[in-house]
Structure 1
Amino acid sequence: MRRLRSARATSGSYTNCWDTARVGDDVAKSVAELGAGRLDASLANRVIYADALGRGLGVVEAKKSGPAADEVRALAQEVAGILEL
């Protein structure tokens, strides 16, 4: 796993967060090494994903509209197109 970096919040306290730019670069590199195609749709790092999972729900079940629901629908539509469903 990537190391966590410390980010100073406006309150002056420190919190741990992922260095998401580096994680994204690592994922892109791994995809290229596999020779796999990259999807146009992507999922951002959103709290709703963890919240929905913790409640035993999918994102669209937890909140039918919003950016996360739009991302999941776009991803499902793109995968369905690849699988010719």
Structure 2
Amino acid sequence: MNVFPNFGGVGGAGELRLIVGALLTFVLIIAVLMLIVCAIVWAIASANGNYHAATKARTGLFVAIGAAALAGAGVAWLNFLLGVGTRL
């Protein structure tokens, strides 16, 4: 008796890849826009001596960098898992 995995048993890997890719694209676009806005606010607030706003903008900048890194890592992780899933 030979037992083999059913590779066609779970459908929709292509659709899942498209949906997650689209969502992560939106996250990446918003993170880059936040990065630009926070950098501008940080520069203006620091130049005018408003250190409270500069601190908030710096925190927003670091959060935007983290979100962009996680979005990029999420695409790589999903592609890895889908690649491993087809080889099981």
**Do these two structures clear the TM 0.5 threshold for a shared fold by scoring above it?**
no
Q: Which structure has the highest strand share of the two?
A: 1
Q: Which structure has the highest helix share of the two?
A: 2
Q: Which has the larger radius of gyration?
A: 2
TM-score, length basis structure 1: 0.29
